[in-house]
Amino acid sequence: MKNMRQGTGCWTRSMSIVALMLLWAVPSLAQISPGKLSGYHEELEGIRNCTNCHQLGEAVTNEKCLVCHTAIQTRMDEGSGYHASAEVTDKTCASCHSEHHGRDYELIFWTEGQDNFDHTLTGYPLEGKHAEEDCADCHVARFQQADRFGNDDSIDKDRTHLGLDKACVTCHVDEHRNQLTDDCLTCHTMEGWTPASGFNHDDAKYRLDGKHTDVSCEKCHPWQEAPAVNSNLLQKAEHVGQYSHYQGLEYSSCVNCHEDKHEGRFGANCTKCHTTASFQQVKDEQFDHDKTTYPLRGKHIDVDCKECHTTGVMTDPLKFAGCTDCHDDEHRGQFAGRSDGGACESCHTVEGFIPADYGFEQHQQSDYPLTGSHFAVPCNLCHAQVMEDDDGSYAQFAWEMTTCQACHEDIHQGQLNIWVDKNGCEYCHSTDTWHRTSFDHSLARFPLEGQHREILCLECHTIEQEGEQVVWMKPLEMTCAGCHDNIHGDQFVRMDQGETETTCDRCHQPAGWKELEFVHNRDSRFQLDGAHIKVECNQCHKPVMRSDGSEMVIYKPLGMECSDCHGSTVPQMEGTRG
């Protein structure tokens, strides 16, 4: 009877285990696959493919997604496109592209709806006419640049929003057939191709003046027959098969465009007597100024005679040895110390004071050669109209010192003068960019070790000051609790040794919080042996709710009697019955 009871008990326990396994099986299947994959990932269906997207025991990781979606990875590496924007970089792929919702589920989740998508985040804001277009008008296969996809086989060209280039000519026909710059926006705007409001004929080889400014473009730039173009690109119907002629026009002489009414009797140089103001206006007495000691050139040609010959008597002698005999020195003698005495013609020509004939090569020979980002700074940002005298304002070209502080505000508010005094701002920065520094942190009071080396500088060196986030270098708190929350409360404060706060580095090191220095049998009152060695920490050290609503894991004090964890009676294990 005893054996029968024992057999019956074993059978009962076996049936209970089977029942529990059956109950567990149903939800576990849902945990393994909460639903069918979408049609785009259908080939990954099945339990053997889970680890293609999931880490064991973890959620889907961006790294797994980007193994297949290499075109997105490339864009992120380049720091371009929507997925490289601050809006996205801190998100997981799954937050916008959620799976396991069935074959027909659309994987792109538009937070505010596709029509309200902020296109600025892609690095290409929609302006003017572009803002009026539907997404599908531009994001189509015929405008895509195949080289932007690389070897990404996951791209569906009929659905993807990738593959477009910012250049206008990737979608629009180059109406000028490579005659002009590839940067269409130099002349045109997003509001419409015509009129080309950004174009200034003064930048062309032939500058317009006088009556030429009133002539329609087609008069000088007639339409030509055009070769076939890519029919996939956008083009106005009236422009198909033709284009305006811009390059190769002959304009060395007036007779290239105008009929010589004098039939060559006065030579081919019409400008001896005429100006572009009007053919009807002849220069005073057809005078050839080249026969004087001061031939007229450039802008001087268009100056009214009375502007220089103020007495009205043309034979009265005039001073013209230097430009300043007639013109004010706009630089107020700032260049007088140069070897040429500050001669205007060293930088300017009679074609006009602006732009100056002074380029990078000359600047590199000055007291302040340009390097790094200074090459990209427009001249008038440094040489601004900030000087004043009785005659008005004028541009500054001479400085008492040429250090960084002469032009740039010290955003560190003198905190780093100890380094600046050694070698200027260049001790940490270069002219390439302020954002990349070369400071050796081991020279500071807080050398960077372990995980601290991976932290961005501004993560620690940013404080709030008068409601604004400002860069702050020192003093900064250097204790662990100065930056990190103490999740243990006062459990590890050794008050008997005079401590008033937790000494984190007794257990933790900068290499990582999980790399513990703590040894249970050395540092605890409770020695782990036997089966206790295999027990997970959280089985004994459980969280409790603190008064502020946060959780804290209790490490000490804990009871050390068996009954504190196992109850007052230790159950008899199976197989020990007598």
Evaluate whether 241 touches 225 at the Cβ level (below 8 Å): yes
Residue 4, pLDDT above cutoff 60: no
Do both 45 and 124 map to the same domain? yes
pLDDT of residue 225: 86
pLDDT of residue 73: 92
Do both 116 and 73 map to the same domain? yes
Do both 24 and 100 map to the same domain? no
Evaluate whether 41 touches 27 at the Cβ level (below 8 Å): no
Q: Give the total residue count for the chain.
A: 578
Give Cα 86 distance to the centre of its chain. 10
Do both 56 and 83 map to the same domain? yes
Instruction: State the sign of the Cα–Cα–Cα–Cα dihedral 42, 47, 51, 56.
Output: positive
Do both 15 and 87 map to the same domain? no
pLDDT of residue 20: 37
pLDDT of residue 27: 46
Q: Which residue has the higher pLDDT, 436 or 319?
A: 319
The stretch 185-208 carries a mean pLDDT of 89
Is 173 contained in some domain? no
311: Cβ contacts below 8 Å, ≥ 6 apart: none
Burial tier of 179 (Cβ tally within 10 Å: 0-12, 13-18, 19+): middle
The stretch 516-531 carries a mean pLDDT of 89
327: confidence class by pLDDT, cuts 50, 70, 90: very high
- Of 276-290, 305-319, 370-384, 426-440, the least confident: 276-290
284: confidence class by pLDDT, cuts 50, 70, 90: low
The stretch 453-460 carries a mean pLDDT of 86
Is 120 contained in some domain? yes
The stretch 557-574 carries a mean pLDDT of 69
Is 215 contained in some domain? no
The stretch 67-75 carries a mean pLDDT of 92
Is 74 contained in some domain? yes
Do both 20 and 123 map to the same domain? no
Is 17 contained in some domain? yes
Do both 94 and 19 map to the same domain? no
The string of pLDDT tens digits covering residues 138-183 is 999 999 988 888 888 888 898 899 999 999 999 999 888 888 888 9
pLDDT of residue 103: 93
Q: Are strands 468-471 and 462-465 parallel, antiparallel or unpaired?
A: antiparallel
Domain total in the chain: 2
The stretch 284-291 carries a mean pLDDT of 70
Is 18 contained in some domain? yes
pLDDT of residue 14: 36
Is 394 contained in some domain? no
pLDDT of residue 118: 92
DSSP state of 60: B
Query: Which range marks the domain in which residue 16 is found?
Result: 1-28
Radius of gyration for the alpha carbons in the chain, expressed in angstroms and rounded: 40
The stretch 472-499 carries a mean pLDDT of 86
The string of pLDDT tens digits covering residues 114-131 is 889 999 999 999 999 999
Which of 153, 186, 203 is a domain's end point? 153
Do both 6 and 100 map to the same domain? no
Q: Which residues of 168-178 are buried (b: 16+ CB within 10 A; e: fewer)?
A: bbebbbbbbbe
Residue 262, pLDDT above cutoff 80: no
d(CA 170, CA 174) in angstroms, rounded, equals 9
pTM across the whole model: 0.42
Give the position of tokens 């024992």: 6
Burial tier of 220 (Cβ tally within 10 Å: 0-12, 13-18, 19+): middle
Residue 136, pLDDT above cutoff 50: yes
What's the mean pLDDT when you consider all of the chain?
84
pLDDT of residue 313: 65
134: confidence class by pLDDT, cuts 50, 70, 90: very high
pLDDT of residue 124: 93
The stretch 207-231 carries a mean pLDDT of 87
The stretch 440-445 carries a mean pLDDT of 85
Nearest alpha carbon to residue 232 among 179, 276, 172: 172
pLDDT of residue 41: 93
Do both 8 and 87 map to the same domain? no
Do both 88 and 44 map to the same domain? yes
- Of 211-225, 268-282, 495-509, the least confident: 268-282
DSSP for 64-85, please give it.
HHHHH-HHHHHHHHHT-SGGGS
The stretch 220-225 carries a mean pLDDT of 87
Residue 367, pLDDT above cutoff 50: yes
Nearest alpha carbon to residue 301 among 346, 270, 325: 270
Residue 576, pLDDT above cutoff 50: no
Is 576 contained in some domain? no
pLDDT of residue 266: 63
Q: Could you tell me the CA-to-CA distances from 334 to 71, 358, 400, 406 in Å, in that order?
A: 56, 16, 12, 18
Do both 5 and 108 map to the same domain? no
Nearest alpha carbon to residue 164 among 40, 67, 75, 93: 75
Give the position of tokens 């680890």: 51
Residue 323, pLDDT above cutoff 60: yes
Evaluate whether 393 touches 385 at the Cβ level (below 8 Å): yes
Give the position of tokens 């069918």: 36
Do both 48 and 120 map to the same domain? yes
Question: What SS3 state is found at 389?
Answer: strand
pLDDT of residue 16: 38
For residue 3 the two structure tokens come to: 């054996």
